Amino acid sequence: MTPTPLTTLTADEIAFRDAVREFAAGEIRPIVGEMERAGRIHPDLIPKYFELGLMGIQVPESYGGAGGSVMMVTIAVEEISRVDAAAAIMVDVQNTLVAYPLLTYATEAQKAAYLPRLCSASVGAYALSEAGSGSDAFGLTTRATKVDGGWQLSGRKLWITNGAEAEVFVLFATMDPAKGYKGITAFIVERSMPGFAVGKKEDKLGIRASSTCELLLDGVFVPDANVLGEVGQGYKVAIETLNEGRIGIGAQMIGNAQGALDAAVAYLKERRQFGKALAEFQGIQFQIAQAATELEAARLMVYNASRQKDAGEDIATTGAMAKLFASQVCERVTSLCVELFGGYGYTTDYPVEKFYRDAKIGAIYEGTSNMQLQTIAKAVLR
């Protein structure tokens, strides 16, 4: 008997994919332009995410979640990204960067306090990056000072996805910068805590409806009960979380590329030049075939990393490979689709210019492409 390939979807996963696809087409597609112009996620969309269980896909049902898998998170992010990557990243961050570290490192009391909220009503965010701490992820300056009964946090975070909407933050600070990564601790921080404020919202090239904000911490008191994981072990929480997060970014990229390719194929069948449809020209056919092949290869890499994560395997390398390749393919495919539309592709009258702009972020956040290459090289050359 031939083994079933890891990337084959089960009947339940296909049904889930089709449900998310229908939701994205019916509920998200009609408001993509409005969200893009407003630069924010439509407020009516977020409650629908919670109603559908998309904000707690991996969370066990005992905490109010859907009891699903990493593979199902991947499917959801991919399908929403086929319509709007900005709308998808909220779901991605909620599941991979917020729910996952809580499921993995939180105490039972923390899980009981926060997971039901995150599955039903509260948007979450992951706060690691700072002005001088991007690829050097642990060069943090946000300080955590021990005080009676807890910690006092002071500093500034940048590039925080979901920052405008989030009520719960997985936030990293250092007890002592001289200790390097060993000084990092993870905290569960609430927006309502005194001294906590959301600052500037960035005006971005792509994923414009997704909020990217700075966070300002002015002596925020965080009780000992809100330390996530062990004191001084925040680097471990951050690394493991980002490993799963990179699968989510890979899913966003393959979905974004598929959306652009779908739009291009439909256009090529309709647009006529020299007496026939553009899709009938062999030169066009070959370009589409190449794009479809690369996209399928990227999809298989992302799906395989998802399966490996669900199986409890180490995905540091395969996750990095999936994110790297998916982001590269997404840039190539969306760029080609703009060209295939000709002058129309450069206008906002057609969707491919947005897919193209939304593609670029894949090579930057949750670890730049160069950082992925470094991770892969270490594994290959060890």
pLDDT, averaged across the chain: 96
pLDDT, tens only, 91-104? 999 999 999 999 99
Examine the fold and report which residue of 96, 122, 148 is the final residue of a domain before the chain moves on. 122
Residue 287 domain-assigned?
yes
pLDDT, tens only, 308-354? 999 999 999 999 999 999 999 999 999 999 999 999 999 999 999 99
pLDDT of residue 7: 61
Give me 259's structure tokens: 């959306």
Examine the fold and report which residue of 232, 247, 267 is the final residue of a domain before the chain moves on. 232
What are all long-range contacts of 40-45, with beta carbons under 8 Å and residues at least 24 apart?
40/164, 40/209, 40/211, 41/86, 41/87, 41/90, 41/165, 41/209, 41/210, 41/211, 42/209, 45/87
Residue 30 domain-assigned?
yes
Contact partners, residue 109, CB within 8 Å, separation at least 6: 225
Confidence of residue 8 (pLDDT cuts 50, 70, 90): confident
Same domain, yes or no: 330 and 219: no
Residue 6 domain-assigned?
no
What are all long-range contacts of 286-294, with beta carbons under 8 Å and residues at least 24 apart?
287/336, 287/340, 288/261, 288/264, 291/257, 291/261, 291/332, 291/333, 291/336, 291/337, 292/261, 294/329, 294/332, 294/333
Confidence of residue 3 (pLDDT cuts 50, 70, 90): very low
Same domain, yes or no: 287 and 308: yes
Residue 262 domain-assigned?
yes
Same domain, yes or no: 138 and 168: yes
pLDDT above 70 for 297: yes
| Containing structural domain, residue 179 | 125-232
Same domain, yes or no: 246 and 169: no
Nearest residue to 225 (alpha-carbon basis) of 371, 107, 100: 107
pLDDT of residue 251: 98
Residue 4 domain-assigned?
no
Same domain, yes or no: 92 and 105: yes
Q: What CATH number has the domain bearing residue 17?
A: 1.10.540.10
C-alpha distances in Å from residue 171, one per residue of 197, 228, 289: 13, 9, 44
Radius of gyration over every alpha carbon of the chain, rounded to an integer in angstroms: 21
Same domain, yes or no: 187 and 295: no
Q: What CATH number has the domain bearing residue 354?
A: 1.20.140.10
Give me 39's structure tokens: 């630069």
Give CA–CA dist 43/155, Å, rounded: 29
pLDDT of residue 65: 98
pLDDT of residue 6: 52
Give me 309's structure tokens: 């994560």
Same domain, yes or no: 23 and 91: yes
Residue 134's CB: how many other CB atoms inside 10 A?
Answer: 17
pLDDT of residue 2: 44
Residue 155 domain-assigned?
yes
Give CA–CA dist 90/105, Å, rounded: 22
Q: What is the mean pLDDT of the segment spanning 161-189?
A: 95
Q: What CATH number has the domain bearing residue 176?
A: 2.40.110.10
Q: What is the mean pLDDT of the segment spanning 179-185?
A: 92
Same domain, yes or no: 219 and 288: no
pTM, rounded to two decimals: 0.96
Work out the burial of residue 362: count CB atoms within 10 Å of its CB; fewer than 13 is exposed, 13-18 middle, 19 or more buried.
Answer: buried
Catalytic residues: 366
Same domain, yes or no: 37 and 167: no
Same domain, yes or no: 196 and 272: no
Number of separate domains in the chain:
3
Same domain, yes or no: 114 and 140: no
Give me 333's structure tokens: 């495919």
∠ CA 233-141-210, nearest 5°, is 85
Examine the fold and report which residue of 103, 122, 141 is the final residue of a domain before the chain moves on. 122
Same domain, yes or no: 209 and 267: no
Alpha helices per DSSP H over the chain: 11-23, 32-38, 45-51, 70-81, 85-92, 100-105, 108-120, 234-270, 282-310, 316-340, 352-359, 369-381
pLDDT of residue 137: 77
pLDDT, tens only, 216-265? 999 999 999 999 999 999 999 999 999 999 999 999 999 999 999 999 99
Determine what percent of the chain is predicted with pLDDT higher than 70: 98
* Residue 202 C-beta-side C-alpha neighbours within 13 Å: 18
pLDDT of residue 1: 37
